[in-house]
Amino acid sequence: MIDRDRRAIVVGGAIILGAIGWRAVPAVWRMGGTAREEAAQVVHLAARSQQIVSRRAGLEVVLRARTDSLIALAPRLLQANSATVGNAALSSLLTMWAQDHKLSMTRLDQLPDSTAGIFRRVGISLQGEGDLAGVSGLLRKIEAGRQLLSVRRLSVTNPNDATSSPQRLHFDLQVVGWLIEW
């Protein structure tokens, strides 16, 4: 082989290697950039996972405390398996308490339920008549009773007609309670 042939082979090989390198180097560079981005995402994900795992112990304590408070609240909720049964239980309870305090009931209506999920709100709108001691006794019983009930609206008026006695009062009240639907 002569020098000229050898030079042609070397120059031709260099040109071929240069062309291959010209096409391959940018592709390899792009793959390296993509690999760096993926590695940065993996590092970020690992750091986030470590943060979540480190907060887990604290979250378990909070969850345990919330569960304990819900369990402690359960005996104070109305015992019913649906909103209809809960409304019936609440209305019978209010009727019994009103009779205990010598109040006459003139109207008792169920309030519509607007809650969804496992905790259901049941409510009763109640109208009646009685004396001041009876109305205040009923309110005391609602607020201090075993069940978790609250008075949402209260109106006490004196009918002021000639046939009613001055001690006779008309009351209108809304009572709301909670139940767990199971």
Domain positions in the chain? 1-76, 77-180
Residue 29, pLDDT score? 67
Q: What is the pTM of this model?
A: 0.59
Q: Please choose, from the candidates 96, 169, 164, 172, the residue with its C-alpha nearest in 3D space to the C-alpha of residue 133.
A: 169
Residue 15, pLDDT score? 79
Residues of the chain with pLDDT under 50: none
Name the residue with tokens 């994900």: 45
Ordered DSSP codes for 34-73: HHHHHHHHHHHHHHHHHHHHHHHHHHHHHHHHHHHHHHHH
Tokens of 7: 């030079």
Residues β-bridged to residue 130: 169
Residue 164, pLDDT score? 59
User: Topology of domain 77-180, per CATH?
Assistant: Alpha-Beta Plaits (3.30.70)
How many residues in the chain?
Answer: 182
Structure confidence by residue, pLDDT tens digits, 84-128 = 888 888 899 899 999 999 999 999 998 887 666 677 888 999 999
